[in-house]
Structure formats: C-alpha cells, structure tokens
Amino acid sequence: MKVQLPRYEGWSLFGLLCLLILVMTALILALNPDLVEGLRSAIRATARTSFALFLVAFTASAFAVLVPSSFSKALVRERRFIGLAFAFSHLLHAVLIYKYGQLNTEFWPGRSTITNIPGTLGYLFILLMTITSFKTTTRLIGRKTWKALHLTGMWVLAAVFAYSNFKRIPLSAWYVLPFGIMFSAIAIRVVGKLAQKNKRNQPRAFA
C-alpha cells in the first residue's frame, strides 16, 4: 500500500512554516538556562529563518525563468505564503528583541536613531507588504500600486539584509557568508529579470 504524504501549499504551508519557527524558538529558550542568553540565541535564529525565507521569495521568479522546473514553478506559486511566513518570522524576531531590551537595560541606550533607520524602514515595508498581500487590499490599492509597493519593498529589504550583514563583517568574518549569499541573490534576480525581458522580446524579433 502506497502512503500518500501530506502536501503543504497555501495556508497549510504558511501554518507549517510558522509552527516550525515557533517550535525552534521555544526549544532554544527552553534549553538555555539563562533567559537573556536564550533570547540572544533566539534572536539570531529567527534572523536566519527570516533571511532564508526572504531569499526564497526574492529569487523565486528568477529561478522559474533561469531553471524552469516543477519545483521552481511551485516556489513562484507559493511565494505569497512564503513571504507571509517571512513576515511572521520577522515579527517574532522583533518581539524577541523587545523582550531582550527589557531585560538588558543597556541595549536600547546603546543604539542611536541613525542605527535604527534601516531596521525601521525594513519593518515598515514588511507591514505594508503584509497588509496588501490579500485580495481585498490588493483591489483597494489597485494592481499597479500593489506591484510598485511590493517591488520597492523587496529591493529595500534586500538592501537592508545586505547592509546589516556587511556592517557586521568587522565584528566577525562569518558575516561574509550571508553578505555574499545576499549579493548573489541580487545578481540572480537581476539576471532573471533580464532573461525574462529577453524572452518577451524574442517573438517580436522574429515577427
């Protein structure tokens, strides 16, 4: 008898991703005897899950053009729910930072307004993109405005991730890796868009 594995898509995929992130966070906090250190570890972990989910959403359309397959097409189809899972991950990341700031009284005074600008801008676009990721709100603002908002938001978030990792390279050489991955993702997205544009223009050339 062949066992049919459950297929996660749409809201079930979103729910699964959120559940995994919550379980990961809970385990990190439960297994660390010191709450402050546990929060720091959970903050780093949710930063990585957010980064990974953003990369998938950011490069999905490019991979569908450059490496067409059922998997890459599925990524494009589920991109909205992956993006919403990214928003959930980063919301949890923000909650953990807030809680850490409450316990570590030196955290917020050590940050300047300028230091907080990239993160604040990133969260603003995450909020706007999340609110407009539903059919009702998409209709309210119009398809053209929706496309401009989400396109701008994706590039702003890509820049924030790149900058956040780049500025930490002097603190640890490990940050060269996520910076390099983000830089590569940007290159893949650009190449994918160029390939898509070239593909659209091909029929005209032979017309």
- Closest to 132 in 3D by CA, of 176, 170, 168, 83: 83
The answer to whether the beta carbons of residues 192 and 184 sit under 8 Å apart is no
pLDDT band at residue 197, thresholds of 50, 70 and 90?
confident
List of E strands, 26-126:
none
Residue with more model confidence, 197 or 100? 100
User: What is residue 108's predicted lDDT score, i.e. its pLDDT?
Assistant: 72
Mean of the pLDDT values across residues 131-137? 92
> Is residue 85 within 8 Å of residue 17, measured between CB atoms?
yes
Does the pLDDT at position 4 exceed 70? Answer: no
Q: Give pLDDT tens digits for 137-162.
A: 999 999 999 999 999 999 999 999 99
Residue 1 pLDDT > 50: no
3 pLDDT band (50/70/90 cuts)?
very low
93-122 mean pLDDT: 86
pLDDT of residue 206: 46
Amino acid 204: pLDDT: 55
Does residue 100 contact residue 36 with C-beta atoms inside 8 Å?
Answer: yes
* Separation between Cα atoms, residue 188 and residue 36, nearest integer Å: 38
Residue 6 pLDDT > 70: no
Token pair recorded at residue 17: 């991703």
pLDDT for residue 203: 59
The whole-number pLDDT of residue 114 equals 81
Mean pLDDT value of segment 164-187: 94
Mean pLDDT, rounded, of the chain: 90
pLDDT at 207: 46
Q: Residue 155 has what pLDDT?
A: 97
Q: Which helix (H) or strand (E) holds 16?
A: helix 11-31
Distance CA 81, CA 89 (A): 12
